């Protein structure tokens, strides 16, 4: 994924504040999109979005906290940065416990906000790269035959070829052939790396 595909989404009901944030972010070279309320943002296919969200904690209708909870329920992993008033710090801390990455207090310092945006975009990039890696590993696992998958699981459990052969009532040579194919299809020569790959997919 390239940075060009990422956007900073601003969900803020105060038009002046929203426009100010969008101008600041555009001046820094970020692609942006603004929303006047939570419902408008939810019209997007949120699970396909890449970037991070600057979210006002207090909005009419669905609040920022409620939107964040809804996004978590939907499995949306977009990093969230809350913008809060002075009385909302306790709420913002609670939001971070629920998975938001940070919050800034109004009136915020521009550089502080931009630093949090940089962190949010970096986190989003890492999440997408990890997801792509996991998908690639799953495709490799899906390419295994049922017997190869069975033997791979026993390899991951730490069973020796001889033990696998006895357990499956096949020759040790047959186990060695299947084992070799498993390593080849999974793209590794290391049992330790194979274990890491399987754990990454099944975590």
pLDDT digits (tens, 9 = 90+) for 115-141: 999 999 999 999 989 989 999 999 999
Q: Is the peptide bond before 107 cis (omega within 30 degrees of 0)?
A: yes
H runs (alpha helix) in the chain = 15-27, 38-42, 64-73, 89-97, 110-142, 146-156, 161-168, 172-186, 191-202
- Return the axis-axis angle of helices 89-97 and 64-73, rounded to nearest 10°: 0
Where does the pLDDT of residue 86 fall: very low under 50, low under 70, confident under 90, or very high at 90 and above? low
Where does the pLDDT of residue 3 fall: very low under 50, low under 70, confident under 90, or very high at 90 and above? very low
Q: How far is CA 81 from CA 49, 56, 106, 128, 196, in A?
A: 15, 9, 13, 18, 32
- Look at residue 117 in the predicted model and tell me its pLDDT: 96
- Look at residue 183 in the predicted model and tell me its pLDDT: 97
- Look at residue 190 in the predicted model and tell me its pLDDT: 94
Please compute the mean of the pLDDT values over residues 181-203 and round it to a whole number.
93
- Look at residue 2 in the predicted model and tell me its pLDDT: 46
The side-by-side arrangement of strands in the sheet containing 7-11 is 32-35, 7-11, 51-56, 80-84, 102-105
Structure tokens at 55: 């979210």
| Domains by residue range for the chain, with CATH | 3-126 (3.40.50.2300), 143-202 (1.10.10.10)
pLDDT at 92 over 90: no
């Amino acid at each position: 994924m390239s940075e060009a595909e990422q956007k900073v989404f601003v969900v803020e009901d105060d038009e002046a504040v929203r426009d100010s944030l969008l101008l600041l972010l555009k001046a820094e070279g970020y692609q942006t999109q603004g929303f006047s309320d939570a419902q408008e943002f939810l019209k997007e296919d949120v699970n396909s979005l890449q970037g991070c969200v600057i979210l006002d904690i207090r909005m009419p209708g669905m609040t920022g906290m409620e939107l964040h909870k809804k996004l978590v329920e939907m499995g949306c992993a977009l990093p969230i940065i809350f913008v809060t008033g002075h009385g909302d710090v306790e709420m913002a801390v609670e939001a971070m416990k629920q998975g938001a990455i940070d919050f800034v207090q109004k009136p915020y310092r521009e550089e502080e906000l931009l630093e949090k945006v940089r962190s949010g975009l970096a986190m989003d990039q890492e999440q997408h790269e990890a997801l792509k890696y996991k998908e690639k590993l799953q495709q490799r696992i899906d390419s295994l035959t049922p017997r190869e998958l069975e033997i791979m699981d026993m390899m991951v459990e730490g069973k020796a070829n001889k033990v696998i052969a006895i357990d499956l009532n096949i020759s040790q040579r047959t186990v060695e052939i299947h084992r070799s194919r498993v390593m080849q299809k999974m793209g590794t020569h290391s049992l330790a790396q194979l274990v890491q790959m399987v754990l990454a997919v099944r975590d």
